[in-house]
A and B are shown apart, each in its own frame.
Chain A
């Protein structure tokens, strides 16, 4: 009985310090140093509407946009998830075939693999620079831009995730598309 009493007293103490105190302290750090990302890295249009989060992939299906990686949850940022299919699964083969058709990939011009694989949360905002370049002809054509213009834009937005430890450069699809929109056409 005494043990239960002590347990309850310690429960109160840990709730106060490790939950309320701790969460408030971390919240305060966020508000003080990085208020923008602490609220979810939201991107607002000039008119004040939220167009998305820099960290979260959103669906792009129109040819004039770069397309992100496929999502097993259809880019549902309130219910994220992966395909959880085995890499040996025939379901993945079927899905890949649809995607190949959409991109028009051929043996001579094979698809970069991330464009055929869903990410863990289905919200991966990045693709590799290589996969963006792969989409250049379609985007350039849809927008009536030259391929060089689009490629320059890609290279401007590409960064090495992990600095010296990165093996390839990547781009944020939403930011790239926003830049495209800003460029017009």
Chain B
């Protein structure tokens, strides 16, 4: 118990502490103007010469948006092409074959949208070129897209122009992600992860059986998959695989890498907007919700594997199905919450095999999708909740609603609710369609409520751009590939376009001054209001579905 708490405090608390200087660095890197310390003009000039003339102009939110989409189209097309042609391309030592069309679509959508839902298994299906030039590349630039969008949003709220997407995306790639990834990847290599371009090794085991051991340029891939909240594993079972995550301390380092940039994004937002105290409150709200989920997961996972009740198996340890010994008792549940709170989606234990209510915690994390959330986009999602929360809170103090002095009116409420609504729509309607048809029913790995949870989880993960899964689901089918591919694309771009549109509309208004009569977004009351809004708007919708999934499974099986 004490070790567990110490470990959680170390990972979460330690990362939170480091996120402060990291956020300061990100603010400097992404928005050289806001930091007093030096400036990045030399970099800005470099990035402008790389991008060409269009990158020299300041963009309004629409131009910024169009640039962002144009770049993402190029990302999609190139990744699709590499995956589709991998059998003809170099760096394929194990001779991986062609992939099926809907799987290429799904995988491309998945990595373009920073989701990294994997309906394939890396070591089985992909060449090293596909892994690096298609997927790892997208792990950089899709994360950079999110960070750029947040920087533009924050600038708008500060009353400034959006900036230039093409400069921002390079700042995020080269100044933020690349240096941190180099450090983390180096540490991971030193921690024992493979980093080789040689093909699979073939071993003859002690009992004389042939064992093919897949390997590859794993360390580089894993570092950016965690840092960019991508989550797509080099190997099928992701970070439970001993070669992706060799021991206790690499596990801790990877957990740090999962949450560091999402946490730092909050500080970056605060610095660019010029409201550190506000950022502190937001950070506190996210941290509080995160800790509640961690506590829940840690608690529920102490129940032993229910299937062993009555068997001659020791019952004094928690549920170990799908978990690795080297990560210790807390590693699995803690990781499951961190990875789903941040839209990362890499797994350190098999989520399908978590106890029912433990498995609910990752789902809640993805339903809310803003308890730090994905790089950049997590804070953007939180902004949507804040628009709604501020709207109601301001009325309660007798003011027409405003956020940071910007008046929130019909248009803003409409866009914010639309973005939040879309998330629920994709998850619930998607699950409803697949639950009622063979598309879903024939792909389940578990029976009863747990099978339902597998489908619910899959759509939740796709819409939240998370990418983890209840992996028992036989999801490499054409219906799953297409449905989740579309959901990932819509679930990515709707919550980027609409918030930027909100800021575009807000910043066109007259900004009003703040006083003791206006709503403070810097105190505990606001934090409470925000938590209530997040829970009511974000989670209440899913209560019926949760009841028929994990909650039903819990009450049916876990009463003993």
Residues of A within 8 A of B (CB): 2-11, 13-15, 17-19, 22-23, 25-27, 29-30, 33-34, 37-42, 49-53, 55-62, 65, 69, 75-93, 96-97, 100, 105-107, 109-114, 116-128, 161-167, 170, 174, 177-178, 181
Q: A120: which of B192, B313, B349, B553 is its contact (CB, 8 Å)?
A: B349
Interface presence of B7 (CB below 8 A):
yes
- B205 contacts A52, C-beta separation under 8 Å: yes
What 0/1 pattern do residues 183 to 214 of B give for CB contact below 8 A with A? Answer: 00110011011111110111111110101111
Instruction: For A60, list chain B residues within 8 Å (CB).
Output: 206-207
Among B434-472, those with CB < 8 Å from A are: 445-447, 450, 470-472
Interface presence of B182 (CB below 8 A):
yes
- A85 contacts B173, C-beta separation under 8 Å: no
Q: A118: which of B10, B322, B470 is its contact (CB, 8 Å)?
A: B322
- B197 contacts A87, C-beta separation under 8 Å: no
Contacts A9-B51, A26-B195 given; does A56 touch B243 at CB 8 Å:
yes
Interface presence of B235 (CB below 8 A):
yes
Instruction: For B193, list chain A residues within 8 Å (CB).
Output: 37-38
Contacts A62-B207, A65-B206, A161-B248 given; does A107 touch B52 at CB 8 Å:
no
Closest A residue to B185 by beta carbon equals A26
Q: A10: which of B51, B189, B326, B557 is its contact (CB, 8 Å)?
A: B51
Instruction: For B313, list chain A residues within 8 Å (CB).
Output: 96, 100, 105, 110-113, 116
- B66 contacts A85, C-beta separation under 8 Å: no
Q: A85: which of B78, B329, B349, B353 is its contact (CB, 8 Å)?
A: B353
Q: How far is the CB of B278 from chain A (nearest CB, A)?
A: 32
What 0/1 pattern do residues 1 to 29 of B give for CB contact below 8 A with A? Answer: 00100110010000000000000000000
Interface presence of B530 (CB below 8 A):
no
- B472 contacts A65, C-beta separation under 8 Å: no
Interface presence of B506 (CB below 8 A):
no
Among B242-263, those with CB < 8 Å from A are: 242-243, 246-249
Contacts A26-B189, A165-B7 given; does A86 touch B450 at CB 8 Å:
yes
Interface presence of B305 (CB below 8 A):
yes
- B237 contacts A39, C-beta separation under 8 Å: no
Q: Number of contact residues on B: which range applies?
A: 35 or more
Q: B205: which of A40, A59, A92, A166 is its contact (CB, 8 Å)?
A: A59
What are 17 A-B interface contacts by the 8 Å CB criterion? A2-B52, A11-B74, A11-B75, A22-B224, A30-B219, A39-B215, A50-B202, A58-B206, A88-B557, A92-B308, A113-B314, A121-B242, A162-B7, A164-B3, A165-B3, A165-B7, A165-B10
Interface presence of B536 (CB below 8 A):
no
Interface presence of B296 (CB below 8 A):
no
A119 to B348, CA, bound (A): 10
From B132, B197, B240, residue with most partner A Cβ within 10 Å: B240
- A42 contacts B201, C-beta separation under 8 Å: yes
Going nearest first, the 5 A-B pairs with the smallest beta carbon separation are A120-B240, A84-B472, A92-B307, A162-B248, A121-B237
Q: How far is the CB of A9 from chain B (nearest CB, A)?
A: 6
From B201, B213, B247, residue with most partner A Cβ within 10 Å: B213
- A40 contacts B350, C-beta separation under 8 Å: no
Closest B residue to A50 by beta carbon equals B203
From B66, B132, B185, B325, residue with most partner A Cβ within 10 Å: B325
- A65 contacts B322, C-beta separation under 8 Å: no
Contacts A10-B170, A83-B353 given; does A40 touch B236 at CB 8 Å:
no
A62 to B205, CA, bound (A): 12
Closest A residue to B197 by beta carbon equals A27
With contacts A23-B132, A162-B3 known, what are 11 further pairs, Cβ within 8 A? Answer: A6-B55, A9-B52, A19-B136, A22-B224, A30-B194, A55-B246, A61-B207, A84-B350, A86-B450, A113-B304, A170-B326
- B74 contacts A38, C-beta separation under 8 Å: no
A135 to B325, CA, bound (A): 17
A117 to B322, CA, bound (A): 7
A170 to B326, CA, bound (A): 8
Instruction: For A39, list chain B residues within 8 Å (CB).
Output: 194, 196, 198, 201, 215
A78 to B236, CA, bound (A): 10
Interface presence of B523 (CB below 8 A):
no
Q: B206: which of A3, A38, A82, A177 is its contact (CB, 8 Å)?
A: A177
- A86 contacts B352, C-beta separation under 8 Å: yes
Q: A161: which of B54, B217, B328 is its contact (CB, 8 Å)?
A: B328
- A77 contacts B211, C-beta separation under 8 Å: yes
Q: B211: which of A58, A87, A117, A126 is its contact (CB, 8 Å)?
A: A58
- B321 contacts A118, C-beta separation under 8 Å: yes
Q: How far is the CB of B159 from chain A (nearest CB, A)?
A: 26
What 0/1 pattern do residues 278 to 300 of B give for CB contact below 8 A with A? Answer: 00000000000000000000000
What 0/1 pattern do residues 68 to 85 of B give for CB contact below 8 A with A? Answer: 001101110010000000
Contacts A26-B185, A78-B124 given; does A84 touch B195 at CB 8 Å:
no
Contacts A7-B71, A85-B445 given; does A124 touch B325 at CB 8 Å:
yes
Instruction: For B55, list chain A residues within 8 Å (CB).
Output: 6
Interface presence of B306 (CB below 8 A):
yes
Instruction: For A105, list chain B residues within 8 Å (CB).
Output: 312-313
Instruction: For A8, list chain B residues within 8 Å (CB).
Output: 74
- B308 contacts A116, C-beta separation under 8 Å: yes
Q: How far is the CB of A120 from chain B (nearest CB, A)?
A: 3
- A119 contacts B323, C-beta separation under 8 Å: yes
A2 to B70, CA, bound (A): 10
A90 to B306, CA, bound (A): 9
Interface presence of B394 (CB below 8 A):
no
Closest B residue to A130 by beta carbon equals B314
- B52 contacts A6, C-beta separation under 8 Å: yes
A65 to B206, CA, bound (A): 9
Among B227-242, those with CB < 8 Å from A are: 235-238, 240-242
Instruction: For A9, list chain B residues within 8 Å (CB).
Output: 50-52
Q: B235: which of A15, A61, A80, A96 is its contact (CB, 8 Å)?
A: A80
Instruction: For A164, list chain B residues within 8 Å (CB).
Output: 3
A17 to B169, CA, bound (A): 14
Q: A93: which of B67, B173, B311 is its contact (CB, 8 Å)?
A: B311
Interface presence of B140 (CB below 8 A):
yes
Instruction: For A124, list chain B residues within 8 Å (CB).
Output: 242, 324-326
Instruction: For B209, list chain A residues within 8 Å (CB).
Output: 58-59
Contacts A10-B170, A40-B213 given; does A181 touch B206 at CB 8 Å:
yes
Q: A162: which of B132, B328, B553 is its contact (CB, 8 Å)?
A: B328
- A13 contacts B133, C-beta separation under 8 Å: no
